[in-house]
């Protein structure tokens, strides 16, 4: 069933219940349903329907959700992008697809005519979003309705989210992590708080109203400083920093973390701090004979591929298994999955292979380090040397001697950084993850904002 039809059902059953609150105000389920139906009729009159991609770039998160749900109701494939892109940029990114750009807010007043209804099927191409890569041309990833909405009830079972919750989604909906969270909230019949970006000084006010938050790991400590009425934090995107789960327990917040990828959706979840285990209906293999292998997945939640036959890391075998190149330790079916990072980010240095995430995990423990990115810098004889860029937003960076001491105590010889840099703030992808490729590019260009530690 399209999420829009869930909204219409909730509107019929609980019309006065608050559905969404955004920067421009709030809507009950009845009012949200009316806006979706009005926009769907308007879009259908403009020729939007099956086989057409609705390229949606709207600054207001509520307007964006209305457009997404209206496009789905009309039978089109909604594709969410950046609201700053103009029509020429959209045409470049979506060519040669039949595309209708939606860059103005959907209308509020229903035009005359019958309600728009399409016969929805599980295999409809009902959602598309861009990968969160930090450089190069973004890739648009498309998925079926079933691969998007079929996992909702599993997420509810793992997290305890229900229709009486108020769910804070504190990031841009161009990120699939936050877009999924917002649509899941509405399908469940809960209330979505949509600031459209990280709320900053308004965080405490949002948390005073929220019972659930979806976010990325580096934002969780901020939430735990003033948890308000929060009971569950759903965290995706990377591993938690040491001690974060214990801090959450002290704050009375249950943490559910998950591992996945835009192309794979959910792969594994950790609901109790004992490690990542397969998400319901997911099969996992780690292929390879060494200490690390490549993660392959088979499940109902996989994307169909890239729009416009774009190239990307997604690969399939003849038995329906897929991989995006992530690497993990050897894995036994049903056991704990220990993901070590993206395979294409590994650093080849002097014949050794270094996984950046292994190094970063150790260096994050150094007092004064807010976050860290490890990349390979070119070297004439070694191929590359391990290079660390530490983020120190509120203070001077820790002494290089302390960083090196920590590296010696927790890392093998090949893993230890040979070059050290510091920045007040790391560049990040729309999901909030450090933009590793952009950091490497800025280092290579000699960006003066990245200060070398001596």
Confidence of residue 332 (pLDDT cuts 50, 70, 90): very high
What mean pLDDT comes out for the span 12-25? 96
Q: Which of residues 334 and 245 earns the better pLDDT score? A: 245
Q: Please say whether the beta carbons of 57 and 85 come within 8 A.
A: yes
Confidence of residue 225 (pLDDT cuts 50, 70, 90): very high
Nearest CA to 5 among 120, 108, 126? 120
* DSSP, res 162: -
Report the mean per-residue pLDDT for the chain. 88
CA angle 234, 239, 243 (to 5 degrees): 85
Confidence of residue 136 (pLDDT cuts 50, 70, 90): very low
What mean pLDDT comes out for the span 167-179? 92
What is the per-residue pLDDT for 309?
67
What is the per-residue pLDDT for 441?
79
Domain(s) labelled CATH 3.40.50.12780 in the chain stretch across 3-197
Written out in words, the top-level CATH class of the domain with range 263-343 is: mainly beta
What is the distance of C-alpha 108 from the center of its chain? Answer: 30
Summarised one tens digit per residue, pLDDT across range 427-453 is 887 667 788 878 887 888 888 989 999
Least confident of 3-12, 223-232, 288-297, 385-394: 288-297
What mean pLDDT comes out for the span 223-230? 95
The arrangement of secondary structure in 346-452, i.e. its CATH architecture, is: 2-Layer Sandwich (3.30)
Q: Cis link prior to 96 (omega < 30° from 0)?
A: yes
What is the per-residue pLDDT for 266?
96
What is the per-residue pLDDT for 393?
81
CA dihedral sign of residues 300, 306, 312, 315: positive
60 Cβ contact partners less than 8 Å away, ≥ 6 residues apart: 22, 23, 24, 105, 196
What mean pLDDT comes out for the span 261-284? 94
Domain(s) labelled CATH 2.30.38.10 in the chain stretch across 263-343
Confidence of residue 133 (pLDDT cuts 50, 70, 90): very low
Which range, 48-62, 123-137, 143-157, 390-404, has the best average confidence (pLDDT)? 143-157
Q: What percent of the chain has pLDDT over 70?
A: 93
Question: DSSP string of 365-382?
Answer: TSTT--EEEEEEEEETTT
User: Is the pLDDT reported for residue 113 higher than 90?
Assistant: no
What is the per-residue pLDDT for 343?
63
Rounded to a whole number of angstroms, the CA Rg of the chain reads 22
The arrangement of secondary structure in 3-197, i.e. its CATH architecture, is: 3-Layer(aba) Sandwich (3.40)
**Ramachandran assignment for 283, one of left (phi > 0), alpha (psi -120 to 50 degrees), beta (any other):** beta
The model's pTM is 0.81
What is the per-residue pLDDT for 135?
36
What is the per-residue pLDDT for 60?
95
Beta strands at 18-22 and 191-193: parallel, antiparallel or unpaired = parallel
Tokens coding 102: 């939606």
User: Is the pLDDT reported for residue 134 higher than 50?
Assistant: no
Beta bridge partners of 215: 235
What is the per-residue pLDDT for 293?
87
User: Is the pLDDT reported for residue 108 higher than 80?
Assistant: no
Summarised one tens digit per residue, pLDDT across range 363-417 is 998 998 989 999 988 887 677 899 999 998 877 889 999 999 999 988 878 889 9
Nearest CA to 258 among 242, 233, 234, 274? 234
Summarised one tens digit per residue, pLDDT across range 28-78 is 999 999 999 999 988 888 888 888 889 998 999 999 999 999 999 988 999
User: Is the pLDDT reported for residue 174 higher than 70?
Assistant: yes
Summarised one tens digit per residue, pLDDT across range 234-267 is 998 667 877 899 999 999 999 999 999 889 999 9
Q: Which of residues 93 and 331 earns the better pLDDT score? A: 331
Beta bridge partners of 26: 21
């Amino acid at each position: 069933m399209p999420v829009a039809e869930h909204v219409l059902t909730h509107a019929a059953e609980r019309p006065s219940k608050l559905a969404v609150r955004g920067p421009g105000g709030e809507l009950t389920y009845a009012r949200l349903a009316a806006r979706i139906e009005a926009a769907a009729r308007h879009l259908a009159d403009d020729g939007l329907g099956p086989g057409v991609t609705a390229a949606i770039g709207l600054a207001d998160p509520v307007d964006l959700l209305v457009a997404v749900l209206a496009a789905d109701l009309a039978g089109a494939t909604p594709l969410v992008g950046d609201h700053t892109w103009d029509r020429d940029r959209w045409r470049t990114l979506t060519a040669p697809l039949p595309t209708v750009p939606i860059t103005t807010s959907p209308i509020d007043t229903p035009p005359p005519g019958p309600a728009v209804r399409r016969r929805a099927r599980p295999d409809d191409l009902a959602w598309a979003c861009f990968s969160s890569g930090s450089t190069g041309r973004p890739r648009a990833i498309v998925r079926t309705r079933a691969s998007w909405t079929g996992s909702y009830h599993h997420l509810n079972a793992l997290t305890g989210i229900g229709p009486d919750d108020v769910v804070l989604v504190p990031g841009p909906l161009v990120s699939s992590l936050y877009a999924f969270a917002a649509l899941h909230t509405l399908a469940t019949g809960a209330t979505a708080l949509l600031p459209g970006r990280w709320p900053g000084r308004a965080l405490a006010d949002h948390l005073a109203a929220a019972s659930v938050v979806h976010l990325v790991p580096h934002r969780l400590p901020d939430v735990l400083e003033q948890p308000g009425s929060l009971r569950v934090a759903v965290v995706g995107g990377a591993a938690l920093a040491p001690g974060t789960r214990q801090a959450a327990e002290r704050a009375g917040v249950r943490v559910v973390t998950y591992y996945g990828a835009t192309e794979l959706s959910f792969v594994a979840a950790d609901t109790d701090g004992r490690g990542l285990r397969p998400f319901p209906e997911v099969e996992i293999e780690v292929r390879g004979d060494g200490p690390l292998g490549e993660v392959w997945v088979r499940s109902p939640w996989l994307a169909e591929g890239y729009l416009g036959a774009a190239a990307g890391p997604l690969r399939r075998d003849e038995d329906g298994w897929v991989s995006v190149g992530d690497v993990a330790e050897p894995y036994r079916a049903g056991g704990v999955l220990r993901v070590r990072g993206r395979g294409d980010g590994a650093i080849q240095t002097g014949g050794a292979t270094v996984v950046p995430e292994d190094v970063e995990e150790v260096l994050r423990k150094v007092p004064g380090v807010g976050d860290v990115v490890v990349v390979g810098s070119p070297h004439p004889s070694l191929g590359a040397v391990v290079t660390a860029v530490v983020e120190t937003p509120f203070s001077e960076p820790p002494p290089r001697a302390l960083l090196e001491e920590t590296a010696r105590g927790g890392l093998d010889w090949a893993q230890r950084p040979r070059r050290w840099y510091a920045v007040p703030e790391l560049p990040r992808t729309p999901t909030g993850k450090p933009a590793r490729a952009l950091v490497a590019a800025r280092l290579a260009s000699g960006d003066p904002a990245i200060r070398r530690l001596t």
